[in-house]
Structure formats: structure tokens, C-alpha cells
């Protein structure tokens, strides 16, 4: 993972929203994929195909399990953006 520096609170909030959208879309796609895989497995005749589908199912499960970390990052971005907005509003 590479480091990113964002100093604008609006950009931080926008990026956090994009993370949320990505996570929701990814979760939906993975759930739908797993649903389709479960109906496809019984139709597979050879073990090689069944193993390939199982690997895809495992990958989609791993993708879903990693989403809470991304959502936590989005929440931290929102908190940081709020903090930056408060600091920028201080007049000296």
C-alpha cells in the first residue's frame, strides 16, 4: 500500500464517500457472484472446474472480509476532515 497525503477536508470527505460506494458495490458483486457459483457447481462435471469455482468463491469471501478495514479507513478520513475543518476555522 502506498502512502497518500490529503490536506483538504473536502477531498478527504469525498474520498471517504468513494470508499463507501466501492465497498457497497464490491459486497453486492461478491454476494451475487457467490450466489451464481452455488448454482453452477452442481452443473460442473469435472473436478477441475469445481476446484476453479471453489477458488473463485474463496476469493470473493476474502474480498468481503477485507471490506470492514476499508470502511474503518473511510471513517478515519471523515474524522480527520472534521478535525481539519475545525482547525482551519480558528482565527488568530
CB atoms within 10 A of CB 81: 20
The more confidently predicted of residues 25 and 89 is 25
Angle (deg, nearest 10), helices 9-40 and 47-88: 160
Asked whether the beta carbons of 82 and 13 are under 8 A apart, the reply is no
The more confidently predicted of residues 22 and 92 is 22
CB atoms within 10 A of CB 15: 18
Distance CA 74, CA 68 (A): 10
pLDDT of residue 38: 83
Digit-coded pLDDT (tens) for 56-68: 999 999 999 999 9
pLDDT of residue 22: 96
Asked whether the beta carbons of 43 and 52 are under 8 A apart, the reply is no
The domain spans of the chain are 9-84
Q: pLDDT band at 1, cuts 50/70/90?
A: low
Amino acid at each position: 500500500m502506498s502512502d497518500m497525503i490529503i490536506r483538504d477536508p473536502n477531498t478527504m470527505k469525498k474520498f471517504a464517500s468513494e470508499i463507501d460506494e466501492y465497498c457497497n458495490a464490491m459486497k453486492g458483486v461478491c454476494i451475487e457472484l457467490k450466489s451464481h457459483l452455488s448454482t453452477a457447481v452442481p452443473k460442473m462435471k469435472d473436478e477441475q472446474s469445481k476446484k476453479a469455482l471453489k477458488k473463485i468463491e474463496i476469493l470473493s469471501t476474502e474480498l468481503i472480509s477485507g471490506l470492514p478495514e476499508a470502511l474503518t479507513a473511510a471513517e478515519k478520513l471523515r474524522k480527520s476532515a472534521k478535525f481539519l475543518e475545525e482547525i482551519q476555522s480558528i482565527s488568530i
